[in-house]
Chains A and B, each alone.
Chain A
Amino acid sequence: MSAIFKFFAAGPDAPPIQDAADVDRLFRYHRRNIIFIITLCYGLGYVCRLAFNVVKKPIMDAGIFTPEEVGFIGSMLLYGYAAGKFSNGFLADYTNVKRFFAAGILMSALLNFGMSLSTVVGISAVLWMFNGWFQGFGAPSAVVALASWFSNHERGRYYGIWSTAHSIGEGLTYLGIAFLIALPPKGLGLPWQWGFWTPAAICVLAAFLLYRYLQDRPQTLGLPSIAEWKHDGQTVVRPTSHNAAKIWRDQLKVLAIPSMWLIAMASSTMYITRYAINSWGNVYLQEIRGFDLFDANLFIFLNTAAGILGCVAFGYMSDKLFDARRPPTNLIFGLLELIPLFIIFYGPTNSIVLAVALVVYGFGLSGILASLGGLFAIDIAPKRVAGAAMGFIGIFSYLGAGMQDYISGKLIYDSEIRVVFSVGEYSPTVYFYDYTVPIVFWVGASVISMVLATSLWRAKSRD
């Protein structure tokens, strides 16, 4: 066990390189590699998280899992991810992120491969839960790499570049993996197992690239810290036993702030809608609206792509138009999220209307999520314990998302009608579902979220 800890532990500082030209050259070389590789590989790693969403319908059509079982398996990833987000954030601070990140992605690849072999719900659920946990290695590792190699005054820009990784991953999954599984001529019509094999292969490649090009802290290569090299930013203070106890007490105070509980509930209910659309949206579009697998996933991609603009627009609008007050912008983005939801589910069935509604929905949703899961929460929490506030809200959010996946699957399964044809040795079966009740659950969650967020209209920022 100690050999494993030793393997993953952050490396010791190397003797400092004395030649300033060498230091500059190495910093430039590694920084270019690192921002490129964490963005690319986090995006590639995302495919191993989302692929199950694309193959849900083929798996259900093949009678391998019922919607309830599919929902249960999907929810396990989110619980695993919530746990991973909590534990791996602490671990990443002490590890060589090059090895930690690569190992997480490699394990995720193996678990995806395992999923392609399993038709037993219990085994798939366990595999997918561990996949969620290993997926949780990525974000903290990338953030630690950003903190180690980019200074305070440039980190925002590079963080923005890294954030595009989500769209790379979603694009690859909702378009690329869907292309493999969709029937010709839009796709290759490969069996659903390819929806796990291909992500597994992609993640093995990503793990190799991470191991080859990501680096531990600059000091392990004999370089100075980024703050020294850039003459920018304060020294990082490591927690001592004295101030760690005080920080822990302050962290616990987050739980005593009523507004934090309201934000956590608002974020949790918004995550219900978010993951309902991302997990079940493409299945709904195929089952009820009659789109094929490729088109259904293309529609879902539109909403996730619009999300990038939503995040940026929310921050800009709340800062510039409302003097950094989040509640008015929460309300605007909440309505931008909610009105398209009604149009998607209860409006005209025209494809263009659906596409526009999904784009506006994705834009509004990302904005409100950026606020509830980040900006607004940090405003209200004491700045010293902003991390604890984010962790508290993150766990609530992913618990909501996980519960959603199971409840949605159960509600869909309750409406199932099977038409079974007896044809000699075969029994081809066609399944019919009614999404009326799940849609009320998904839209209702957003309504509750908006009401909760708006109830904090007078909430004040803390220093």
Chain B
Amino acid sequence: MTKRHLVLLCCIALSACTEEDAVDYCRDHYLLHAGHQDGLGMLTVTMADSGILSTELTLPASSLIDGIDELLEDPQLVYTLQTSSDCTAATSTVRRLDSTVVATYESRCGIDNKIGQMDVVLFDTLTTLEELEVNIVTPATQKHFAISRQCESAIFRLD
């Protein structure tokens, strides 16, 4: 291979690298998130050392449907837990705050009762819900991400 060929190859490689891609909704979500963040639902889950799991769900007006208050009063339509032994039945309260609905839930699972999995079924319950910002706190760590109906995986980079 001559030097000229090598230079040509490098130029082709560089031009391929600098070719501008279209913005991908899931991959480049951080470019778009700030623009629509105010209209999103928010889910906050706190798993405490004491075995109490507290959940707060805030839904904006855009994702509300008829009978939403009754739907949200049933915790099973929001989440279910897979634990090593049974937790107490989750309590729920649903209230209106301006144009939003705020639902809170509490499940008492006990100190030695390991939570293996939490299934969030909210998107199945609310088919108008497009995207949810989620904050989950465990005794060891905390994660903040978004779940979108258009994306296969959770979106961790939001800004």
Known contacts A430-B145, A436-B140; A420 and B120 CB within 8 A of each other: yes
A379: chain B residues at CB < 8 Å are none
Whether a CB of chain A sits under 8 angstroms from the CB of B138 is: yes
Q: How far is the CA of A164 from the CA of B18 in the complex (A)?
A: 34
Rounded to whole Å, the gap between the CB of B154 and the closest CB of chain A is: 5
Known contacts A426-B151, A426-B152; A420 and B140 CB within 8 A of each other: no
Whether a CB of chain A sits under 8 angstroms from the CB of B47 is: yes
* A421 near B139: Cβ-Cβ < 8 Å: no
Q: Can you list, as one digit per residue, whether each of B7-46 has a CB less than 8 Å from chain A (1) or not (0)?
A: 0000000000000000000011000000000000000010
Known contacts A415-B140, A417-B117, A430-B154; A424 and B123 CB within 8 A of each other: yes
Whether a CB of chain B sits under 8 angstroms from the CB of A432 is: yes
Chain B residues 116 to 131 lying within 8 A of chain A, measured CB to CB, are: 116-124
Q: How far is the CA of A426 from the CA of B147 in the complex (A)?
A: 10
Whether a CB of chain A sits under 8 angstroms from the CB of B95 is: no
Rounded to whole Å, the gap between the CB of A139 and the closest CB of chain B is: 32
Closest B residue by C-beta to A416: B116
Whether a CB of chain B sits under 8 angstroms from the CB of A288 is: yes
* B120 near A290: Cβ-Cβ < 8 Å: no
Interface residues of B (CB under 8 A from A): 27-28, 45, 47, 115-124, 132, 134, 136, 138-143, 145, 147-149, 151-154, 156-157
A-B interface, 8 closest residue pairs, ranked by CB to CB distance from nearest: A434-B140, A423-B123, A418-B117, A421-B120, A428-B154, A419-B118, A432-B138, A288-B141
Interface size class of A (residues with CB under 8 A): 20 to 34
Chain A residues 82 to 133 lying within 8 A of chain B, measured CB to CB, are: none
Rounded to whole Å, the gap between the CB of A340 and the closest CB of chain B is: 21
> Which residue from B116, B118, B149 sits with its C-beta under 8 Å from A423?
B149
* A428 near B45: Cβ-Cβ < 8 Å: no
Closest A residue by C-beta to B145: A430
Rounded to whole Å, the gap between the CB of B4 and the closest CB of chain A is: 21
Known contacts A428-B152, A428-B153; A433 and B141 CB within 8 A of each other: yes
Rounded to whole Å, the gap between the CB of B21 and the closest CB of chain A is: 11
* A434 near B138: Cβ-Cβ < 8 Å: yes
> Which residue from A184, A415, A422, A428 sits with its C-beta under 8 Å from B121?
A422
* A422 near B140: Cβ-Cβ < 8 Å: no
> Which residue from A415, A428, A435 sits with its C-beta under 8 Å from B147?
A428
Q: How far is the CA of A424 from the CA of B145 in the complex (A)?
A: 19
Q: How far is the CA of A430 from the CA of B123 in the complex (A)?
A: 16
Rounded to whole Å, the gap between the CB of A231 and the closest CB of chain B is: 42
Closest A residue by C-beta to B82: A418
Q: How far is the CA of A41 from the CA of B151 in the complex (A)?
A: 41
Q: How far is the CA of A424 from the CA of B147 in the complex (A)?
A: 12
Known contacts A420-B119, A432-B138; A62 and B153 CB within 8 A of each other: yes
* A420 near B117: Cβ-Cβ < 8 Å: yes
* B149 near A435: Cβ-Cβ < 8 Å: no
**Apart from A417-B138, A421-B120, A424-B123, what are 14 other A-B pairs with CB-CB below 8 Å?**
A288-B141, A415-B140, A417-B47, A419-B45, A419-B118, A420-B117, A420-B119, A421-B154, A422-B120, A422-B124, A423-B148, A428-B154, A432-B136, A434-B139
